[in-house]
Amino acid sequence: MKRYNVVVVGVGMVGKKMVKILRERNFPAKSLKILAVRERTEEIAGEKFKVERASADSFDGIDIALFAGTEGAKGASQQFGWRAVEKGALVIDNGDDFRMDSRVPLVVPEVNPEALEKHQGFISNPNCSTIQLVMALFPLHRKVKIKKVIVSTYQAVSGTGKAAVRELEEETRNFLAKRNIDPEVYPVRKNGVYPHPIAFNLFPQVGSLSKEYPKYYTEEVKFIRETRKILECPNLAISATCIRVPVFNSHSEAITVEFEEKITSEEAKQILIESPGIKVVDEPENSLYPTPFDVSGKDEVFVGRIRKNSLFPNGLDLWVVADNIRKGAALNAVQIAELLIEKGG
């Protein structure tokens, strides 16, 4: 088997998970290099790695470059992405800088692998929340065309990175110790990761306000634009409300879908059971449905609460949960690389 020189750019939560998944899946790496803004040694899954400072020369001789930008992260792929392509590397970018670039396929391997056929050396991961949305919608859309999507998300703090996880931990300790529990202690903040306390709280803000869609936040706009691009439905009616919740890992989504024709919940359930990368947990009578606690650390996208919508004659409601760091980021990128290797580049 041919083996490849691989580099992971970034060593935050997503970067570390990429390295771990490469090892777990016995990825055919001849060498594995990790780049970041400063040199250091990092331990990942019991293995010590020397982290090198990223520069243009870091991509000499590299076959595959995985950029591990987290939610809203900027810079690395903007600075080095296309330069790495020029040096002969295949770039797979988890950041959002080039997702809507017409040159760049936006890919979920189980959904639109054919988009890779015209890649120009640079492929983007969709947003973590978009990945689990299209994973659940695509098998149904393939059977009966989707007309309208309304989604509310409940997004874990790991999507923002290590600092947000620490903030939730610290605020929880303070709250339980009865420190800083007066709401007036926490006005809209400028020195925290979030503008409000996240422990025992939630708020409908993920990202910054969009200039393109007035009063929408950027995460909500990503849903609209990315879903349309992946499903190749430029006029798909879709609306999103994204909520940050005090959960450490795994995003949840309440989805209402209106189809052009009728599809029963039983038909939808069977379609999803037979779909790759999907695990159906749908026994509401036994209180069995996906939860972030159970899904964290799993590769699949979990779907439950599949039921007829009470308003739309051709509508269904779904509850979808996935590990936003694994399938929502690191695993999806590695799967893209595996697929390209399988197809011969």
Known catalytic residues are 128, 251
| DSSP secondary structure, 67-80, as one string | E---TT--SHHHHH
Record the tokens describing residue 239, joined without a space: 């609306």
β-pairing, 315-322 vs 251-259, is antiparallel
Residue 269 structure tokens: 């359930």
Longest CA span, the chain: 62
Query: Beta partners for 174?
Result: none
- State how far Cα 190 lies from the chain centre: 26
Which class for 213: exposed (0-12), middle (13-18), buried (19 or more C-beta within 10 A)?
Answer: middle
**Per-residue tokens: 308:** 């007829």
What CA–CA distance (Å, rounded) separates 326 from 106? 17
At 138 the three-state DSSP class reads helix
Angle CA 112–302–136, to nearest 5 = 35
State the angle between helix axes of 265-273 and 128-143 in degrees (0 to 180), rounded to the nearest 10: 120
The Cα–Cα gap between 319 and 294 comes to 14
Q: What are φ and ψ of residue 194, in 5° steps? A: -110, 160
Cα–Cα dist 263/260, whole Å: 9
Mapped onto helix, strand or coil, the DSSP state of residue 151 is strand
DSSP-derived 3-state class of residue 2: coil
Burial code of 258-277, b = ≥16 C-beta within 10 A, e = fewer? bbeeebebeebbebbeebeb
3-class secondary structure, 60:
coil
Q: Are 140 and 268 in contact (CB under 8 A)?
A: yes
